[in-house]
Amino acid sequence: MLNPSTLKPLSSEDAKLVRDTFRDAEYTESRLRERSGLLVPPPAELTPGGVVEAFQDSDSAFDCLAQLFFLGREIDVVAARKVLPKGLIDCFLRSGVIAERYQSLTPKVLLVPVEDVWLASDLQVLRDHSHKDYVPTVCDAALHLASVAVRQPTKRMLDLCCGFSLHGVLASRHAESVITSDLNPRAAAFARFNAALNECQDFTTVTGDVFSAVKGKKFDLILSNPPFIISPEAVTTYRFAPYELDGFVEQMFRQAPDYLQHGGIFQAVCEWVEIAGVDWQQRLQTWFEGRGCDVWVLTANRQLPSTYAANTLRQSDTDADQLPDMIANWEQYFSKQKVNAIHGGFIFLRRRDGDNWFDVSQLTKPIRSQIGDAIVRGLDNRDLLYGRYADQDILNSRLAVTRGIRIVEDSIYNGIRWESETMTLHVDCGIPVSIGIDKYVRNLIARYDGQRIVSDCLADFANHVGLPMDTGVAQGLEITKAMIRTGVLGIVKENLENRILASRVGLTGTPSQNSFSN
């Protein structure tokens, strides 16, 4: 049975006591992962025995906190009072995060560390997942969105479909004001609690469907982890999309531009379908036509309907005996709807006047760090790549190799010297990719030092490899564009606008400096 919402926001003094206790006990992401191998709390019904045993030391404040608020298990009150600071348990009782009965402390919520904050949510209990008012704990999708979220200083931020407001709380570090919105009133209670716990300023919670609670407002940054799972039931919960197929996220994206300031960014993690006989990229593009936004789709996976059904249903409380019939029902539904596959990933919008672009790229490696700055660079790079005068603008720009690039080379000794067999370029800081390259690509990349314009670097490259100038520049330019798109090369912004302006003047017939001069 889902617990009624009895959470009370902490006073400033109590919030400080909780934060100080968590820090002193090292109740952190890194230590939880080190001890259990997990960052996401496991369902109570499916917690592996080894994970339970990992937190059995009742003499440790860390273990007491982990058992209560990560695993959601009751602990002995006497043992807890011995290791936890004076007044903490009474603070927890007052706020409604635990209950005391029969000499035991029973958690009413989870309190999970993410980065440098702690966030309350409902207990991770499978039987509660289908309840319309359930507020889930942190999950992989939410962490993935946090990893790509833009973290630059901003005025007004919206956490849409916020749940317990992970993204709103994290954004409060760099946003002047934060609004969190969710259809579920219980989510607002958790968001207010989490804002108080983490000392968030100018933090407002509202309740409504999609954008209905923020009509007339515009934002510089919107983050959303909406209900996106596609199923035959189409039930309205935190997890399952309430419309047919991907209709809910389509509606959300069609409305989003109206709520973005000029230059504002919308970032969402979601899923969408691939319909038989329909180009899925063109289908997505129609959602944004004429809406005044650049669109970057970053795909992470593509699943066949049978695989998608099995993976999704195994994460629910479906009875094992019923699972085959449920999977068959989902497969029949997808077949009837002519769904070939389900894609998952991120979709980023940025409000901008002028000729807007639409780009799709593939995420090929897991994201291991926060890369919000790389997302901003990726948007800027695509402005250069897809502008009206793209090639000329690139030729008149200055580029530099992005920080954190590695080249790993496998060589074989031929009896006289070492010869390179394979060469792989790895992007470690930013959107992680691995690209097979050769010595010519390496040679070209090395020329981008941020000092010379691209046309000069390409001319130097053509001379070095012994290609005719026109051929070397043309081939080098295509390689350069690919490296910009993958984030290997980035724009040096100083004087970029002047160089672009100069190139456009030249294109209109006014004399300009030769692109290939020194």
Over residues 375-434, the pLDDT tens digits come to 999 999 999 999 888 899 999 999 999 988 999 999 898 888 888 888 999 998 889 999
The amino acid occupying position 380 is: D
Question: Which ranges of 209-261 does DSSP label H, i.e. alpha helix?
Answer: 247-255
pLDDT at 94 exceeding the cut of 70 = yes
Quote the pLDDT of residue 239: 64
For the CA atoms of 363, 368, 371, 375, the dihedral, rounded to the nearest 10 degrees, stands at: 0
Q: Are strands 98-101 and 104-107 parallel, antiparallel or unpaired?
A: antiparallel
Q: Confirm whether 263 is domain-assigned.
A: yes
Distance, CA of 180 to CA of 222 (rounded, Å):
10
Looking at beta carbons, which pairs linking 204-210 to residues 24 or more positions away fall under 8 Å? 204/177, 204/178, 204/179, 204/180, 205/162, 205/165, 205/179, 205/180, 205/181, 206/179, 206/180, 206/181, 207/181, 207/182, 207/183, 208/181, 208/183, 209/183, 210/160, 210/161, 210/251, 210/252, 210/255
Same domain, 489 and 349: no
CATH of the domain at 401: 3.90.930
pLDDT at 507 exceeding the cut of 70 = no
Quote the pLDDT of residue 420: 81
Same domain, 252 and 276: yes
Same domain, 223 and 298: yes
Q: Global pTM? A: 0.91
The total of structural domains in the chain comes to 3
Same domain, 86 and 183: no
Tell which wins on pLDDT, 315 or 465: 465
Is 155 in contact with 176 (CB distance < 8 Å)?
yes
Same domain, 416 and 374: no
Quote the pLDDT of residue 509: 33
Distance, CA of 350 to CA of 268 (rounded, Å):
12
For residue 111, what is the enclosing H or E element? strand 110-114
For residue 148, what is the enclosing H or E element? helix 140-148
Least confident residue range of 42-51, 154-163, 187-196, 352-361: 42-51
Q: Confirm whether 3 is domain-assigned.
A: no
pLDDT at 166 exceeding the cut of 50 = yes
Q: Confirm whether 339 is domain-assigned.
A: yes
Domain span at residue 472 reads: 390-507
Same domain, 437 and 290: no
- Report residue 48 as tokens: 């592996």
Same domain, 127 and 110: no
Same domain, 265 and 363: yes
pLDDT at 308 exceeding the cut of 50 = yes
Q: Confirm whether 5 is domain-assigned.
A: no
